[in-house]
């Protein structure tokens, strides 16, 4: 089963600086916030570091939600959900 990566900003405390949490079911890491980068670049960098740590490859796409970013692998999965153009989802099975 494929796993999505979710990144989230964690604000500074009295003991730690600002950081980005990058997590999936396999692992969670924290990457220090780089003030030379913008918000999106910090989230993409955290996801990239998690991918490198897990030795996962392939092309990944990311997008933002309200307070987080989500990254998914774009390689064709064995089960795909296709929306639009009057196509039925490939993962739907006929009930008989």
Per residue in 5-54, pLDDT tens?
999 999 999 999 999 999 999 999 999 999 999 999 999 999 999 999 99
φ/ψ bin of 34: left (φ > 0), alpha (ψ from -120 to 50), beta (otherwise): beta
Asked if residue 86 has pLDDT above 60, the reply is: no
The predicted structure's pLDDT at residue 72: 92
């Amino acid at each position: 089963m494929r796993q999505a990566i979710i990144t989230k900003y964690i604000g500074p405390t009295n003991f730690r600086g600002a950081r980005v949490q990058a997590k999936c079911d396999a692992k969670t890491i924290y990457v220090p916030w780089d003030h030379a980068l913008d918000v999106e670049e910090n989230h993409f960098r955290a996801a990239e570091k998690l991918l490198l740590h897990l030795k996962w490859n392939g092309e990944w796409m990311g997008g933002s939600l309200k307070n987080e970013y989500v990254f998914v692998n774009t390689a064709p999965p064995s089960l795909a959900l296709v929306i639009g153009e009057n196509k039925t989802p490939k993962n739907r099975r006929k009930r008989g």
